[in-house]
Chains A and B, each alone.
Chain A
């Protein structure tokens, strides 16, 4: 028994009003489905049913796309950038004002700790709207015009499909640049985490956003397919698994539609022997246990220089033992619930494979709640490149530790993956950081930090991690028709 136990410090749910059932948000209104069915969304930390949500069918998708088209051809398409900016600023302010409501709802529906939804997800979502509000009237000066001096134009109707790991944040990554560039949107949140997107629909109403500019349709894979394949959609933006991303790319091949795909990853977090060890350990923990490891750019492969490997692993385990796993709404929780039974099964399967392949498994000795979906933070040592846990995305709180001897070997191992979303480098030597960043094939390279996000910084992958960038000036390009592509 520890001397200093922290008493429960739960964030109150009283601020929230979750409706028993939700329709679809189309053309500025919540409407009933025309023929679709319903499904339930649950709290993954307790399996409590939170609300009943509509599963949009093909007819619903069609109505939503038409509403978006009408808004694009109508008032929104003719609105000057400065006017669009006002709406985006207004949405950003409302997100900040209602941040506690959003944070509690996100933690309930997703299972992530309240300290992360409160301190990371919601503030960053608001920041994306603020940032893109600033671009809306400056697109002519973003360096995206063609040689003839023609200003860039919006694409039209954008179909967007987002994942369950950062529900509101991924929504903001998609909607903010699309609207700043003058497009209209039909967005489908993930089937396990639809609630903050539906609350965002209320924000659109509160901000008096013209009807049809943002449409939110809920549903699972089939609804997403209807949206992606709808002929009225000009562009598809998808964040999710590489498996689904490939299917989308296949279905779009040969059409006029454009696509950006932000897919899986198996990032290397590379620790050199001269690194600031205590901070590197923090970076490793943040890299893989942040958001239960449900992060596409998670540092799921630790590459540590052999000369410090034992020390780093010892410190890492000691640190992981202090992580507090439990009630996502408790302000002292560090690691929350796994988002769904299906995801938990996938994590269990891959960790089982890791053991049978001969890697050494260590899990933090924490007591897991009985109800809900839970997985203790886990570290595999003795992992080699050939093991599946070193190659496949686990998307859970599971770290694979590999070692290297020279910088060249670190680069070779880090790049030896079909993915290429992110990488981390830990060293006190500035020249080595630059050399590594030059050699690593990944869209984001963090030096002496990990999992830091900012709306000004483009994010996206190499190879099977997808294509296109989100955020920054580069991210705007994905939502604009410019010179060559007119």
Chain B
């Protein structure tokens, strides 16, 4: 089911002739452990950085440009998605210098609406697929879900991993699923993708269900091995969603993966990041853990909705010297 290239690369990295669940387990268990107390302390330490004046202005604009502006509700309508797209293109209608967000993140059936609404802009359309958020569906359904979104013009696919398979140690199954979805993201004749390039695959680990930092590290490496372009913390449907220590471990994973393979992978914390101060702390972490190369919307995203308005309020405060209040930013 998985693509031959992912399997071939995994065989090479693992140094095995045949990719089995046992060989994958050995490889993942061979990763260095994470000491929870130490990881928490490091994340808390980065949280004490003080970002002021010019750095703050730069960080706010950079964070706005990294947002995947998200609506993932059963009640999402066409007009709701169009309204969100309008906000994505002009976050602060009163100030044209405000940067646009990176992408709009929606359910897969609403992709055509978003593609239409964002036409002519550089904003990407990201679709959650694979029976988001639970991921409880057959593989055939997950593949169809993904292909539909790609065909409709999604630039990015946010998939969920099968946490049940991961937690019960069926790593090869998780690997195969990710690799298969990755193949479905590729543009080929069968898919008939509309936007002319393969969709980038974000793999949601749903770290809130993985329970330990060791598992977060293993799931990150497993996703990267299977072909993820991005690793993403959470669906946002579960608490805890993104946390600083979990993001720290994922940033260490992409940094170490590039050292090993030369391939750069993105990171997306999602859910629970609501204030400009939170966003700046995450940016500090990207800067000091993964490094300069990741301080870029191509390699780091925030999955968020309410965050944008707080960033806009802080941006106005820096410009005018005072807080304007919630009525001076739009509710998408």
Contacts and interface: CB of A to CB of B under 8 A. Distances in A.
Partners in one complex: yes
A432 B58 CA distance: 48
A56 to B, nearest CB: 39
B283 A448 contact: no
B292 to A, nearest CB: 5
A397 interface: no
Interface residues of A, number: 25
Contacts of B51: 6-7, 9
Contacts of A279: 34-35, 37-39, 42
Contacts of B39: 278-279
B109 interface: no
A3 B300 CA distance: 14
A148 interface: no
Contact of A9 (B33, B52, B284, B288): B52
B122 interface: no
A249 interface: no
B233 to A, nearest CB: 18
A253 interface: no
Interface residues of B, number: 29
B32 A9 contact: no
Contacts, number: 72
| Residue of A9, A278, A428 contacting most chain B CB atoms (<10 Å) | A278
B53 A7 contact: yes
A283 B287 CA distance: 20
A449 B252 contact: no
Interface string A282-313: 11000000000000000000000000000000
A115 B53 contact: no
A336 to B, nearest CB: 15
B10 to A, nearest CB: 22
A5 B62 CA distance: 13
Nearest to A5: B55
Interface in A1-48: 2-9
A368 interface: no
Interface string B286-313: 0110001001100000000000000000
Nearest to A285: B42
Nearest to A311: B32
15 contacts: A2-B287, A6-B49, A6-B50, A7-B51, A7-B52, A7-B55, A275-B33, A276-B32, A277-B32, A279-B38, A282-B42, A331-B48, A332-B50, A428-B33, A428-B35
Interface of A: 2-9, 115, 119, 274-280, 282-283, 322, 331-332, 428, 448-449
Interface of B: 32-35, 37-39, 41-42, 48-56, 58-59, 62, 252, 283-284, 287-288, 292, 295-296
Given A276-B38, A448-B38, 20 more contacts: A2-B287, A4-B55, A4-B62, A4-B295, A6-B49, A6-B51, A7-B54, A7-B55, A115-B48, A278-B32, A279-B42, A280-B35, A282-B38, A282-B42, A283-B38, A331-B48, A331-B50, A428-B33, A428-B35, A448-B37
